[in-house]
Amino acid sequence: MHITWRELRAVRLLAEHYADVLRHRRVLLWEDNTGVVSIITNMVSRSPELMHELRKLLDVLEMLDCELSVHYIKSAENKVADYFSRIATPRDYSLHQGTFDTIMETVACCTVDAFASAATARLPRYWTLQPEPGADATDAFAQRWEGEIVWAHPQPWLIPRVEQYLREHEAARALVCVPTWPHEAWYSQLRALADEELSLPPGVLQRVAFDAPQRLESWAMTIFVVLRGTAVPRLGTRCV
């Protein structure tokens, strides 16, 4: 949906979440989306979708006896809220931190998280799909994996490219975390590249973005360890 619909919906969800705090109050909203400012100020929109969402917001405010006014603020002056609105990329999900830490301690200490966002990064150094503050680099496939031990936990549509990259770059080393989908061609190809593999049961993934895959909690995962037979810190050596 359009960003204006999403931000207008966010106002309603906030009012619902903090209902006990906002009840019988006058509330000032600082908003950096001019469309949302206009819609709430004028109580109207030409868009049926936005008008539907506005009515839902007004119903919540009426139920709470809450008076809402809105003022515009530039994004440049709204740094904290703007940062957290961008921290998760669409469909974001990740491995639970505890599971990741165990893998680092018992399998190999990775040096960079190759397919991350600020919300999902499991290592201090991480690469993102799009430019993002805090990222070490953008586009894992444009980086040199040689000399790194890469934590590669890509979204499913990127897995064939990861397998191809590892096949074409013999010096690249990585721990590749993928869904246990043996029927996919890339699964057997990664298995052929791996020195070893580790199976993880369903329940090791956590949602980060609201539109993460619906059946995420039912996915079993496989870690393909592609180290080309080289020695790495492992078996109880804690990563720093």
CA distances from 201 to 216, 218, 222, 225 (A): 12, 9, 9, 17
- pLDDT at position 209: 83
Say if residue 105's pLDDT is above 60.
yes
pTM: 0.66
Rounded CA-CA distance 216/72 in Å is 38
Those residues whose C-beta lies under 8 Å from the C-beta of residue 111, and which sit 6 or more positions away, are 123, 125, 148, 149, 150
Say if residue 133's pLDDT is above 80.
no
Mean pLDDT of 185-214: 93
pLDDT in tens, 175-188: 999 999 999 999 99
- pLDDT at position 78: 78
CA geometry: angle 226, 161, 94, nearest 5 deg = 70
- pLDDT at position 232: 57
Q: Domain spanning 93-226 has what CATH number?
A: 3.40.50
Mean pLDDT of 95-106: 93
- Which residues partner with 173 through β-bridges? 149
Q: Which two tokens stand for residue 30?
A: 């600082």
Q: Would you place residue 240 in the very low, low, confident or very high pLDDT band (cuts 50, 70, 90)? A: very low
Domain boundaries, the chain: 3-86, 93-226
